[in-house]
Every structure is written in C-alpha cells, then in structure tokens.
C-alpha cells in the first residue's frame, strides 16, 4: 500500500530559510517589471570582444562540444599560467595547479567543499559580497564578519585578530571588493598574511575585478606574499573582463597538494566549465593586446566618475571606489525605514534599480545603496541623467 508522504518528510533543509533569494535578483525582477534601468545586478551588459565570441563560435562549429578534462582545456590553462606569471607574479604549473571552473562562483564553491567542514568559521570583510556569505551558510560553515571602517573601508587589524577563534579555518579576501570598490593595500594584505600563517588558515582570494583599477591603484595577489602560496586559493575569471557573465568561465590556482580534491568536487558539481566557451576565453587571452586591459580600466574610471558626479548632484553622497564597478552611496535622504524601502522608492522615482546596502552587512547598511556602473554608455547616460534629477 502506498503511503502519502507526511509534510515533515517533505520539509526543506534546515539551511533553506537562511539562504533567501538575494536582494540583487529581487531588485532586478522589480526593475524589469517597471521597465527601469538595472544598476542592481553586476550583469555587465557591455559588448564582449569580437575575438572572444569568434573563438567560441569556431569551437562549436569544429565540434568541441563534449566535456573537457575536469580541470579544463590545456591551452587555456597554459595561457592562464602565462598571464599569472606576467601580470600577477604567481608561478603556477598549468598541469597541477590550475582548474578552469564554472565562473569564480564555481571556483569558490568547489574549493570550499574541498577545504571546509560544517561548523568551521570563515572570516569575511564587511560590507561583503552576499554570495560569499551565503555560500558559507549553504555548506553549514559559519561566516564571521569583520567590519571595514567607513568611509575609506580601512582594515582594523585588531578587529581581525580578535575575530580569529580555534574554529577559524579560512579568510575570504575580495580585492577589488564588491560592493565598496576597496582595493586592499600591500600593508593590509601583509598583515592578513601574517595572521593566516600564525593561525594556520587558508585564504580564498576573489580577484575577479583585478582589471578594474582606478587612479593608479595596484592589484596585489595575496599568493605572492612570503609563505602564502601553499595556503592561498586564488580565484578569478572572465565574466567581468570579457563581459561574459552568462558563459560561466573562471579559474582557480592553488597548491598541487589540494588541487586534486578541489578538482574532484568541481567535477562532481559541474563536470567541467562549458567546453566551447573555454575556447572563446582562450582566443580572447591570446589575441587581445595589452591595450585592451588598459582601455578597460580607463573606460570604467570614466564611468565611475560619471555615476559619482550624478550621485553627488542628487545628494546621495558616494564613497569613491578604487576598483571593481560598483559604488556605495549614502541614501539617507531617500525616504524609507530600511535600505530595501529606499531602493524601491528611488526605483519608483527615477526608474533606476540599485541594491539595498543591507544585502552586504549582517546588521547595517540601511542608509546605503549600491549602484553597478558596468553598463552600456547610453544606459549609463540615461541613468545618470535620471539620478541627477532626484
């Protein structure tokens, strides 16, 4: 006799209520409903380079449509190793130290599966990228927020030191940082490295915005600091640099001792990054000149200046980002009790969607809104004109 399942048996997992739909997606949905300009999601709807598109289309026509090796195609790993040596000063063997992943997101997830246990604590700097926080929750790992000091988001070393407990297993560093655009200085990274070595911690660094640097800010890969190569998992990808967020191509670099296990979990979750799209990223890497990367930074610096000027005109005081393509603005003058209400009021008033600052804090951010300026120029012009009128 068949039994009807009891509702208890059909209950969601214990962590399901903790991992709520991200505010970013919620604002995007609301924006689409209203026909507004979406400055909420980091979707970077600028054009991809022609070489990148051609590389993928050629690969599809040439029949490169089956699974790749679990760590990705060899020529892309080789190109990444060459780039890591030249630009990041990281020496990595493309056969034993690099995995092409399903975006930076897949890299973080598989590394976390390989390295962390339920109940471990992982330190994040606040304001943080919500996916980093929720990924930890989804693995039953406890994220611990170490607040950075507004308005310049400086690292308070004592706070970091006091947040380390016997259960701490790792620190997540995102530089340039989403949402504040902070770029960690060499001194800050050295201090993090000293603590990581002292307490025997892994460091997961998300460097996805490494090519979006303004006013001469320098990007330093933590893995290059003394003693850090063996304990750092360097994560980056092509979503932002090549404007291909929907392709899901990223990579990670780590010690050969832990790569096989991370590779195992990446295989288990994704099998491999999309094969023909790996060829697209490869062609971009091989054929785009150095000027492409410099122009990118220059173009985004202009966009940053444009949005910051519009926000200032509107009395929504921005903290000026040094990198990435987001700006946090003080929206205290927009009516509302919470950042969520403020974001909705602003969307209704000027037709521009932003993300409530509370999405990046455990408790707080209620007067902040985050605007993404990774937009096509005409959309940015329209958004800035509308914001200036507020």
Instruction: Please identify, using beta-carbon distances, which residue of 221 and 334 lies nearer to ligand PMP.
Output: 221
How many Cβ atoms are within 10 Å of 261's Cβ, its own excluded? 15
Residue number with CB closer to ligand PMP (68 or 205): 205
Least CB distance to ligand PMP at residue 105 (A): 3
Contact (Cβ atoms closer than 8 angstroms) between residue 274 and residue 72: no
Nearer to ligand PMP, 179 or 314 (CB): 179
Considering the complex, state which of residue 109 and residue 279 has its C-beta at the smaller distance from ligand PMP. 109
Nearer to ligand PMP, 279 or 350 (CB): 279
CB of 258 to ligand PMP, least distance (A): 20
Smallest gap from Cβ 247 to ligand PMP, in A, equals 8
Tell the residue number behind the tokens 């122009």, with chain if given: 295
For residues 56 and 314, which CB has a smaller minimum distance to ligand PMP in the complex? 56
Strand intervals (E) in the chain? 37-38, 98-101, 121-126, 142-147, 168-174, 202-206, 232-237, 250-253, 318-319, 326-330, 352-353, 355-356, 368-372
Minimum CB separation of residue 326 from ligand PMP in Å reads 8
- Nearer to ligand PMP (CB atom), residue 141 or residue 204: 204
Q: How far is the CB of 58 from ligand PMP (least distance, A)?
A: 23
Query: Shortest gap between Cβ of 333 and ligand PMP (angstroms)?
Result: 27
**3-class DSSP state of 133:** helix
Give the three-state DSSP class for 92.
coil
Tokens of 23: 């505010």
Please state, in angstroms and rounded to a whole number, the distance separating the CA atoms of residues 61 and 177.
Answer: 38
Closest CB to ligand PMP: residue number: 103
First to last CA, the chain: 66
* Shortest Å, Cβ 250 to ligand PMP: 4
Which residues sit opposite 233 in a β-bridge? 204
**Long-range contact set of residues 183-189: C-beta below 8 Å, sequence gap at least 24:** 183/213, 183/217, 183/218, 183/219, 183/322, 183/323, 184/155, 184/220, 186/218, 186/220, 188/154, 188/155, 189/220, 189/222, 189/225
Binding site for ligand PMP (CB under 6 A): 42, 103-105, 129, 174, 178, 206, 208, 237, 239, 245, 250
């Amino acid at each position: 006799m068949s039994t009807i399942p009891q509702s208890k048996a059909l209950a969601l997992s214990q962590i399901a209520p903790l991992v709520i739909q991200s505010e970013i997606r919620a604002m995007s949905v609301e924006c689409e409903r209203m026909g507004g300009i979406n400055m909420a999601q980091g979707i970077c709807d600028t054009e991809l380079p022609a070489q990148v598109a051609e590389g993928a289309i050629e690969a599809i026509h040439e029949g490169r449509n089956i699974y790749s090796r679990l760590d990705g195609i060899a020529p892309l790993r080789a190109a990444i190793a060459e780039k890591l040596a030249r630009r990041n000063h990281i020496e990595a063997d493309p056969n034993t130290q690099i995995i092409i992943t399903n975006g930076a997101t897949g890299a973080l997830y598989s590394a976390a599966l390989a390295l962390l246990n339920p109940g471990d604590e992982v330190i994040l700097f606040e304001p943080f990228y919500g996916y980093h926080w929720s990924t930890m929750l989804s693995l039953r790992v406890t994220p611990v927020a170490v607040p950075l000091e507004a308005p310049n988001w400086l690292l308070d070393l004592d706070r970091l030191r006091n947040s380390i407990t016997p259960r701490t297993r790792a620190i997540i560093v995102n530089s340039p940082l989403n949402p504040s655009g902070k770029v960690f200085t060499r001194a800050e990274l050295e201090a993090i490295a000293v603590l990581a070595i002292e307490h025997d911690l892994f460091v997961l660094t998300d460097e996805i915005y490494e090519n979006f640097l303004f006013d001469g800010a320098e990007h330093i890969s933590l893995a290059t600091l003394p003693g850090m190569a063996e304990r750092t998992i360097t994560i980056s990808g092509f979503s932002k640099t090549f404007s291909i967020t929907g392709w899901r191509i990223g990579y990670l670099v780590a010690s050969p001792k832990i790569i096989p296990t991370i590779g195992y979990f990446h295989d288990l979750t994704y099998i491999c990054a999309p094969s023909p799209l790996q060829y697209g990223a490869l062609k971009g890497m091989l054929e785009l000149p150095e000027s492409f990367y410099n122009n990118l930074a220059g173009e985004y610096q202009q966009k940053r200046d444009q949005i910051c000027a519009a926000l200032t005109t509107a009395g929504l005081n921005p903290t000026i980002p040094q990198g990435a393509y987001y700006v946090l603005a003080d929206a205290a003058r927009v009516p509302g009790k919470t950042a969520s209400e403020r974001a909705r009021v602003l969307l209704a008033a000027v037709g521009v969607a932003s993300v409530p600052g509370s999405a990046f804090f455990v408790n707080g951010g209620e007067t902040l809104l985050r605007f993404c300026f990774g937009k096509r120029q005409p959309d940015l012009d329209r958004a800035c004109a509308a914001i200036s009128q507020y």
